[in-house]
Amino acid sequence: MISTVTLNPALDVILEVDDLHLNEYNHVNEARLFAGGKGINVSKAVRACGRETIAIGFLGGGRGRIIEDALRNMGITTNFWHIENKTRSNTIIYDKKHNHHTLLSENGPLVNEYDIEMLLSIFYRIMSQSKIVTLSGSTPPGVPDNIYATMIDIAKNRGVRAMLNASGEQFSKGLEKKPFLAKPDLRRSNKVFGIEINQKEDAVRAAKEIIERGAEISVVSFKQEKDIFATKDNLWFAETTNHKIVNLIGAGDALIAGLAVSFTEDNNRTIEEAIRFSMSCALASAMSEEEEFDSRDQVTACLNCVNIKKL
C-alpha cells in the first residue's frame, strides 16, 4: 500500500466564463470542483496506475467532506482527521475569450496541537498497512516546521520508506531524518540550500547536496520536464520528448507517484526503470487536462518518450 499525506488540501473550483468583466455581472458557463493538494494528486496518480493508496491529512467542514467523497469515488481509501475550521478553496476563473486563468487562493485553516496529535496517531496506525509514504506540499498555520521530520522518524521505525517533497524548513528538517527519497518543492522559490536552480549544473549540485544530507535518492527538477536523479554512487539526467503539454499542474506529483509505484512493485525494477516509469507518469499527467491521468495505459504510451542519460 502507498500512503500519502496532504496537510493543506484544497477544494479547487474552476469557473469558466466567456469574457470576464470586473465590477459587472458575469455568467458562469461551467463550474467544476476538484480535490486538490500535492499528496492527494499523488494518490490520484497511484490509483490511476491501478495500485491501492490511502490518503491522510487534515480536512474540515463541507468542503472537506466533498473532497473525501470525491477521493472515495476514485477508489482512494481515506483516513483524514476532521478539524474544526473549513478546508481552503482555490478558485480559478477561466476567461475563455482571453485565455486568462485568474487564481484566487485562500489561506489554509488553523490547526491546533490536538489536531496534530490525532493526525500523528492516525499516521502511526496507517504505517502498519504501508510500504511507502509520501509527504508532500505546504502545511497550514499551526503545524510545527518539523512535522515531516517527525513523520519520517515514525515511518522509518515502522519499516516504511518515506518520500519527502516539500520546501523550506519542512524540507531541510525532514532531510535530517534521512528519508528514502527527497525532492525539493520549487514552486515558490527555485533555491535549495542556497543553490539557485536555473541550469542542469545547478540541479546536479543540489541533487548531490541532498544526498550528502542524508536522502538515499534525490530528484531535482529544472526547466519543464527535465530532472536530475541522484544516488550515492550515480547521477542521471532525464527528460521527456515528443509531446504536447496541456497542463503542468500535478506533473511533479505524478512523478513522485510513479517512483512510489515502481519501488513497491514486485518485479525488482532497477532505478533506471523507475526513473523511466516516473517520468512517463509526469508526462501522462502533463498531457491530461485534469490534474492527473486516468489509466496506466496512458503511462505506458509515454514510456518511449523518455530519454535517460547517466552522467
CB of 260 vs other proteins, minimal distance in Å:
18
CB of 226 vs other proteins, minimal distance in Å:
36
**Pick 46 or 306: Cβ nearer other proteins:** 46
Q: Could you give the 3-state DSSP secondary structure of residue 175?
A: helix
| Whole-number Å distance between alpha carbons of 151 and 163 | 11
Interface pick for other proteins out of 5, 48, 76, 275 (rule CB under 8 A): 76
Q: Is residue 152 involved in binding other proteins (CB under 8 A)? A: no
CA distances from 166 to 114, 139, 152, 292 (A): 23, 9, 13, 19
In the range 18-57, which residues lie near other proteins by CB under 8 A?
A: 54
Number of residues that bind other proteins (CB under 8 A): 21
The secondary structure of 71-110 as a DSSP string is HHHTT-EE-PEEESSPPEEEEEEEETTTTEEEEEEPPPPP
CA 263 to chain centre: 16
| Residue 82-111 contact track with other proteins, rule CB under 8 A, x = bound | xxx---------------------------
Beta strands (DSSP E) in the chain are: 2-6, 10-17, 30-36, 53-60, 77-78, 81-83, 88-95, 100-105, 132-136, 161-165, 181-182, 191-192, 195-196, 217-221, 226-230, 235-240, 306-310
**Pick 156 or 178: Cβ nearer other proteins:** 156
CB of 86 vs other proteins, minimal distance in Å:
11
Interface pick for other proteins out of 26, 79, 190, 231 (rule CB under 8 A): 79
Nearest CA-CA partner of 304 in 270, 277, 265, 268: 277
Q: Copy the grid coordinates of residue 139.
A: 502545511
Contact between 219 and 183 (Cβ < 8 Å): yes
Q: Is residue 151 involved in binding other proteins (CB under 8 A)? A: no
Q: Is residue 159 involved in binding other proteins (CB under 8 A)? A: no
| Residue 224-263 contact track with other proteins, rule CB under 8 A, x = bound | ----------------------------------------
Interface pick for other proteins out of 6, 41, 78, 278 (rule CB under 8 A): 78
Q: Is residue 156 involved in binding other proteins (CB under 8 A)? A: no
Q: Is residue 187 involved in binding other proteins (CB under 8 A)? A: no
Q: Is residue 117 involved in binding other proteins (CB under 8 A)? A: no
Give the residues lining the site for other proteins (CB under 8 A).
Answer: 54, 60, 65, 68, 72, 75-80, 82-84, 121-122, 124-126, 128-129
